[in-house]
Amino acid sequence: MPEPFAKSDFGPHFVWGISTASFQTEGAHDKDGKGHSIWDVFSTQKGAIANNHTAKIACDFYHKYQEDIRLLKAMNIPHFRFSLSWSRILPQGTGKINKRGVSFYNKVIDCCLQHGITPWVTLYHWDLPHTLQLKGGWTNREILEWFGQYAEVCATLFGDRVKHWMVMNEPMVFTGAGYFLGVHAPGKKGMRHFLPAVHHAQLCQAIGGRILRNSVAGASIGTTYSCSFIEPKNTSKRHKKAALRVDALLNRMFLEPVLGLGYPIEDLPVLNRLQPYIQPTDMRDSCFDFDFIGIQNYTREIVRHSCLVPYVGARLIPAPQRGVATTLMDWEVFPPSIYEMIKKYNGYKNIPRILITENGSAFPDKVQQGRVEDAARTAYLQDHLAQVLRAKQEGLSVHGYFVWTFTDNFEWAEGYHPRFGLVHVDFDTQKRIIKRSGQWYASFLGQ
């Protein structure tokens, strides 16, 4: 079935790209002077990752970057979002720069530029240097200093060629999963870890933004947020209030302080507990006028009131229990969610530009006669793009779309089982096969 829209419907300046992250793709975990990150340590602990997978090799992007960037070119993808590994550049987190790590990113950036591909760089996509975690990681206020140094080093080293920057990737996820639930690195649990981690990550968004603005001439600076359309189980008052609390937690907690609105304490009173960590000028210092905000959307959530869940008094009703279509992650396939999130974030006065910096899906792919016929992924992408276009046609700010992700990669606690790529990877041989969805995206972009 032909898709109901053309690339030109999005206008000539719409940014089309694809997103990846250092830890999920690079491998070469101890190569050329790289220090360990919290994910190197966490993912080698028995039982931490499904099937005890590790990312020691991952997609071996460290060695295959030239081939992969050529593949991006062949797929007509003009913008490539990737992240820098802090511990490859500063093995101890601060102090001495690892020249060989820097040289790797110089080669990646130069290779993109040689192929006419624009690099979009995320400073922090969850792989904190392990040495910093030994000092408390995100719970230690000294991270303001450490992160500032790291941002400065990256801006100085790469800012001559990289003009599109994102400070952070999904701070709600790395603080929630890593410092509250303990299911992501560094595996910490409870409010005493979560609250300081949240506040320090909050401040670092703005610190990173200011450093990039001062050090990189002509930079466009953003940061990215995970977000899902939240709906109550039904219209009863308690479910609606529960949905409001979850929305404040998942969709607003990191964004609103940046915009000068403070933490959404009124709707989520437990955030009052952040007070002990907030110093007098912190809320002012949390503000930064980003050039763009990246929305990362995959699904929607249905919420019900629950006295059994501490702090939020709410729980998410898992999609499989609701009998709806899901991806391999058990996330509901609900394309209007992306439209609703674009609309919601457009409701804030001072967000100048919104881009979709991630959207994609994992489905059970099969290689058959050298091909991957992943019709469900193509449909997912087309249906979400139709909703992005709907937002755009209503005059909402949305200026770009990046698919998650390029090659199948290490999906954090789920290991290699969920495949999100437009390109299939055989992790034994590192052979790449462009899936049918990748062929579709390539021909769509080639229009």
C-beta of 55 vs 112, nearer to ligand NOJ = 55
Show the binding pattern over residues 371-400: x = contacts ligand NOJ (CB under 6 A), - = does not. Answer: ------------------------------
Find the binding residues for ligand NOJ in span 158-197 (CB under 6 A): 169-170
Q: Tokens for 122?
A: 């995320």
Residue 21 interacts with ligand NOJ (CB under 6 A): yes or no? yes
Find the binding residues for ligand NOJ in span 396-415 (CB under 6 A): 404, 411
Residue 127 interacts with ligand NOJ (CB under 6 A): yes or no? no
C-beta of 184 vs 210, nearer to ligand NOJ = 184
C-beta of 94 vs 407, nearer to ligand NOJ = 407
C-beta of 94 vs 378, nearer to ligand NOJ = 378
C-beta of 80 vs 102, nearer to ligand NOJ = 80
Query: Smallest gap, in angstroms, from Cβ of residue 259 to ligand NOJ?
Result: 22
Residue from 358, 365, 374, 408 touching ligand NOJ (CB under 6 A): that is: 358
Residue 60 interacts with ligand NOJ (CB under 6 A): yes or no? no
Show the binding pattern over residues 241-280: x = contacts ligand NOJ (CB under 6 A), - = does not. Answer: ----------------------------------------
Residue in 26, 332, 358, 411 annotated catalytic: 358
- What's phi and psi for 203, nearest 5 deg? -65, -35
Find the binding residues for ligand NOJ in span 86-125 (CB under 6 A): none
Query: Smallest gap, in angstroms, from Cβ of residue 362 to ligand NOJ?
Result: 7
C-beta of 339 vs 404, nearer to ligand NOJ = 404
Q: How many CA atoms lie within 13 A of 425 on its CB side?
A: 25
Query: Smallest gap, in angstroms, from Cβ of residue 393 to ligand NOJ?
Result: 27
Q: Is 411 a catalytic residue?
A: no
Instruction: Say how many residues touch ligand NOJ, by CB under 6 A.
Output: 9
Query: Smallest gap, in angstroms, from Cβ of residue 439 to ligand NOJ?
Result: 22
Find the binding residues for ligand NOJ in span 198-227 (CB under 6 A): none
Per DSSP, what are the bridge partners of residue 291?
Answer: none
Angle, nearest 10°, between helix axes 375-393 and 436-445? 30
* Distance in angstroms (rounded) separating the CA atoms of residues 58 and 62: 10
Residue in 26, 170, 256, 332 annotated catalytic: 170
Q: Is 170 a catalytic residue?
A: yes
Footprint on this chain of ligand NOJ (rule: CB under 6 A): 21, 24, 169-170, 296, 358, 404, 411, 420
Q: Which residues have a catalytic role annotated?
A: 170, 358
